[in-house]
Amino acid sequence: MSDSLAMTRKMTPNKVAQALLSWATAAHNGSTGRRLIRASARHTRNFWAAHGDPLITHRVAERDLVMPLSHDLPIILAAWPQYSQNIVRLTAMTVAARQDVSIVDIGANIGDTAALMRGAVAAPILCVEGDELFLDLLHHNVGQLSDVEVEEAYVATPTDDNTDRTHTVQRRAGTAALVPSVSGLTPTHPIRPLPEILSSHARFSSPGLLKIDTDGADPRIIVANRELLWQTRPVVFFEFAPLWAAKTGDDNPYRAITALAEVGYEGALVYGNTGELLLVTKVAERHVWRDLGRFTMAHGKGQYYDVAAFHSDDAELFEQAAAAERKFFDEMTVTLP
């Protein structure tokens, strides 16, 4: 059997699971009967995902992406349609404002963000992913996209300096975090410094947009790459998630904000974890980040923020993005008197 045929068969979705997903993502405004069916479908989905986890497809940016039934992306998009749409608009604005932009997607997962960005721009994308559960899916899904490269690696952080350190991969609902551990498994794929990864992909040595989504390691990656950020000055789109950072052993995720300010980042757009614009602020406004961190640590339940940080060199782009995002959400919101 050829490799391509084996991959095709391996990636064939389960029709019953696909039908179950359709019921589980049914509109929230249905009748009582439909709501009960949806609740039952979700319960069955969760059970099946924990005992077999077949593959399904979900349409993202006009492409059918293959993913495990356990992946929460379809459920999230059904409930919060603005989820991940912020990076689509910001990518389009960044590419329009700069020339010869390349994009680096750290924590590329199954390629859903790459598909979203490719739907908006033609710029080359480097997907960086180390989790073996997602890599086959990532390769398959981005195979539909033009001008996308894949790096099979985790990005090193300051806690990975000890090469004898072992790690545990913590997975949940379609995401994965690499957590340092005194007794764990050495990852199948390497842990490499980001500059080393970019040197292996020459077109991405100076990215215009750097997206980071690692379920807790984002602050450490930013701190570890201050020099790279100073040199290349991309728009940085990352998760500010103090609770998740703490679970991975990082007791000071605010270092990321300090590091960004130290290398010249000024403006920031902050979004709720479902994609809606929360506030426009400055990277150096330390009390804002402390207040945000206090809220998410107090309420927990997976709360985090998406942050787009702009270097002072991109002050005009920041003002443009802030105005455009405010306008976008103002038009979706009832105007207050």
pLDDT of 198 = 97
pLDDT score for 88? 97
Beta-bridge partner residues of 267 = 282, 310
77 part of a folded domain: no
Same domain for 120 and 220? yes
Assess if residue 109 is contained within a domain. yes
Q: End-to-end distance of the chain based on CA atoms, in angstroms? A: 67
d(CA 322, CA 136): 37
For residues 157 and 296, state if they share a domain. yes
Place of tokens 């095709």: 8
In a domain, 103, yes or no: yes
Let me know if residue 69 belongs to a domain.
no
How far CA 158 is from CA of 76, 180, 218, in Å, comes to 32, 11, 12
* Position 46, amino acid: N
Distances (CA, A) of 189 to 135, 192, 240, 290, 297: 10, 9, 26, 35, 32
In a shared domain, residues 46 and 91: no
Q: Are residues 50 and 107 in the same domain?
A: no
What residues form DSSP beta bridges with 279?
270
State whether residue 174 is helix, strand or coil: coil
CA–CA distance, 100 with 132 (Å, rounded to integer): 31
Q: Which of 24, 40, 58 is the last residue of a domain?
A: 58
Return the number of other C-beta atoms located less than 10 Å from residue 65's C-beta. 24
The pLDDT assigned to 83 comes to: 93
Tokens of 196: 């080393």
Q: Has residue 126 been placed in a domain?
A: yes
- Of 155, 107, 157, the C-alpha closest to 135 is 107
Q: Residue 67: inside a domain, yes or no?
A: no
Helical H segments across 200-314, by residue range = 218-224, 226-232, 242-247, 255-262, 286-299
* pLDDT value for 161: 45
List the alpha helices (DSSP H) in the chain.
Answer: 3-10, 15-24, 32-50, 73-79, 85-97, 112-118, 132-142, 194-199, 218-224, 226-232, 242-247, 255-262, 286-299, 315-330
CA distance 241 to 43: 28
Q: Are 119 and 12 in a shared domain?
A: no
Are 90 and 235 in the same domain?
yes
Residue 135 lies in a domain: yes
One domain for residues 28 and 115: no
Helices (H) and strands (E) in the chain, counts: 14, 14
Confidence (pLDDT) at 252: 82
Tokens of 56: 């399904």
How far is residue 51 from each of residues 25, 43, 110, 124, 287, measured CA to CA in Å? 20, 13, 21, 38, 45
pTM across the whole model? 0.87
Task: Please tell me whether residues 252 and 164 are part of one structural domain.
Answer: yes
Q: Answer yes or no: do 27 and 144 share one domain.
A: no
Is residue 178 domain-shared with residue 227, that is, in the same domain? yes
**Rg for the chain (alpha carbons), in Å?**
20
State which of 23, 40, 58 marks the end of a domain: 58
Task: Render each residue's pLDDT in the chain as its tens digit; 337 residues.
Answer: 334 434 444 788 999 999 999 988 887 666 777 778 888 988 999 899 888 899 999 999 999 999 999 999 999 998 899 999 999 999 999 999 988 899 999 999 999 999 999 999 999 999 999 998 899 999 999 999 999 999 999 998 876 444 445 555 544 544 544 455 544 555 556 889 999 999 999 999 999 999 999 988 999 999 999 999 999 999 999 999 887 777 777 778 889 999 999 999 999 999 998 999 999 999 999 999 999 988 877 776 657 899 999 999 999 999 999 999 999 999 987 654 4
73 occurs within a structural domain: no
Whether residues 241 and 166 fall in one domain: yes
Instruction: Output phi, psi for 114, to 5 deg.
Output: -60, -40
- Quote the domain boundaries for residue 107: 84-330
Residue carrying structure tokens 């390497």? 190
Say how many domains are in the chain. Answer: 2
Q: What is the CATH number of the domain that holds 236?
A: 3.40.50.150
The CA distance from 20 to 42, in Å, is 8
The span from the CA of 290 to the CA of 283, in Å, is 12
Q: pLDDT (tens digit, 9 = 90+) per residue, 249-284?
A: 777 888 999 999 999 999 999 999 899 999 999 999
In this structure, the answer to whether residues 313 and 240 fall within a common structural domain is: yes
